[in-house]
């Protein structure tokens, strides 16, 4: 929207101020979310038996990973 204010992230992405409060910005903040998701699936009798790596990366790293998968 036109009246929305944004901050610029280091890789060129923008984040609205409303989302800034709930945005997960580093790997340490991911762990509680991962545990919550794991517990959700366990509640559905879909136990996750292994630790799944979860990393936050910048846009360039995502683009490079996508390009690598295409090759």
| 16: its two tokens | 């609205």
pLDDT digits (tens, 9 = 90+) for 30-63: 888 889 999 999 999 999 888 888 888 888 888 8
Q: What angle do CA 12, 16, 18 make, to 5 degrees?
A: 155
Q: What is this structure's pTM?
A: 0.55
- Average pLDDT in the chain: 88
Domain that holds residue 61: 24-70
Residue 53, in any domain of the structure: yes
Residue 4, in any domain of the structure: no
User: How many domains does the chain divide into?
Assistant: 1
Residue 50, in any domain of the structure: yes
Residue 18, in any domain of the structure: no
Give residues with Cβ within 8 angstroms of 37, minimum separation 6: none
């Amino acid at each position: 929207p036109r009246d929305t204010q944004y901050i610029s992230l280091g890789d060129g992405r923008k984040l609205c101020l409303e989302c800034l409060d709930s945005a997960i910005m580093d790997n340490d903040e991911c762990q509680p979310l991962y545990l919550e998701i794991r517990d959700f699936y366990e509640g559905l009798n879909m136990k996750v038996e292994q630790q799944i790596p979860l990393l936050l990366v910048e846009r360039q790293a995502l683009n490079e990973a996508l390009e690598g998968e295409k090759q």
